[in-house]
Amino acid sequence: MKNRTFEAHSGIIAREGIPIILFFLFFTISSFMFGSIASGVVFLLITVFIVWFFRNPRRNTPDYEKLVISPADGKVLRIEELSETEFMKGPCRRVAIFMNIFNVHVNRIPYSGHVEWIRYRKGKFVSANLDKASTDNERNIVKIKGDDGNELIVVQIAGLIARRIVCWITEGAYAKKGERFGMIRFGSCVELYLPEDCIISVKIGDKVVAGETPIGCLK
């Protein structure tokens, strides 16, 4: 059975961007018709940027079951080994991916499985590339349990400019690797918490593509 939640967000433009695009398109047309050419050009450029920002391209996701795929476009900011007591309940690995304002901001499922739970936490809006953003900033936490029993956490973190986290999936849903599950507006960070024995295949500074770039391999 097809997942209609994910189908609804498969257009070439993220649905959250359409009202904003229409708003600026109205002012663009009005400026050209009743205002000045200069103001029309300014609004046109803004409209084009917003269309580009909310782009939602198709991706070719590797189908090897054990691969963990990047949930976000951007650059690998941190790779750490730590003991996480709240969600992973022990030693794990954390990979942080920073998205700047020019990256695609639609997030994708990194590993096929059931969504066990979703937790939203209010917080601050410090720059998402700072270490304290992981604990201080507004964030949305999604736990996925794979078909093979592996468990991992995906955390959407708001940033200095990004002030809205959107999550389209619901608890109990089955999520397939590479499917779109949410977005964060205007620059932000996504973190992956992986089992301790996950073999990481990226390094700090690597550029990654959501739904395509392998982050690691689970056992």
Q: Where are the alpha helices (DSSP H) in 54-170?
A: 133-136
CB atoms within 10 A of CB 33: 8
Catalytic residue among 31, 70, 112, 188: 188
| C-alpha distance from residue 94 to each of 58, 106, 186 (Å) | 27, 20, 23
For residues 76 and 205, the answer to whether their CB atoms sit within 8 Å is: yes
83 a catalytic residue? no
For residues 193 and 150, the answer to whether their CB atoms sit within 8 Å is: no
Find, among 219, 216, 210, the residue nearest to 61 by Cα.
210
CB atoms within 10 A of CB 197: 13
Residues designated catalytic? 188
